[in-house]
């Protein structure tokens, strides 16, 4: 049927072996895909995954890895860029998305923008 489906199983959790509680503030993962709240060590939610999905979609659209090649301590650099300075991934223009149908490109760009809202409450739920 030539349909791509992206899903989030939602079962990956860091568990404290003594208490069995989910630690939603531990920083783990690939820094380039982390939203501001995760980079800053704040409480995360399901909307943290929305940012990461938006970053993957950004990578699909541009054909490039997010944040180029910052090198070195990428986590510290991203905390400075994203959390302290509010810098975001440059969103591609509709015309910059290679080989996409013209009617898809504007919707795709809107999706990227909404997934990368700085405030997690502004991001859509995965169901949307």
Is the pTM higher than 0.75? The answer reads no
Q: Show the tokens assigned to 118.
A: 């700085």
Q: How confident is the model at residue 22, as a pLDDT? A: 47
Residue 62 near residue 96 (C-beta atoms within 8 A): yes
Rounded CA-CA distance 32/79 in Å is: 10
- What tens digit of pLDDT does each residue of 47-96 get? 888 988 988 888 887 777 776 666 667 667 777 777 777 776 666 555 55
Q: How confident is the model at residue 61, as a pLDDT? A: 78
Domains in the chain: ranges and CATH: 31-122 (1.10.510.10)
- What tens digit of pLDDT does each residue of 8-51 get? 545 455 545 554 444 555 556 777 888 888 888 888 888 888 98
CA R_g for the chain: 16
Please indicate whether residue 42 or residue 122 has the higher confidence score (pLDDT).
Answer: 122
């Amino acid at each position: 049927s030539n349909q791509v489906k992206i899903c989030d199983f939602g079962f990956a959790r860091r568990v404290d072996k003594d208490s069995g509680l989910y630690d939603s503030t531990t920083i783990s993962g690939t820094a380039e895909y982390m939203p501001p709240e995760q980079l800053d060590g704040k409480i995360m939610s399901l909307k943290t995954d929305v940012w990461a999905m938006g970053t993957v979609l950004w990578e699909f659209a541009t054909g490039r890895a997010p944040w180029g090649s910052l090198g070195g301590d990428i986590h510290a650099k991203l905390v400075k860029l994203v959390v302290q300075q509010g810098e975001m991934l440059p969103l591609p223009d509709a015309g910059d998305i290679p080989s996409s149908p013209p009617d898809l490109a504007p919707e795709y760009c809107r999706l990227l923008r909404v997934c990368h809202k700085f405030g997690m409450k502004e991001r859509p739920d995965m169901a949307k």
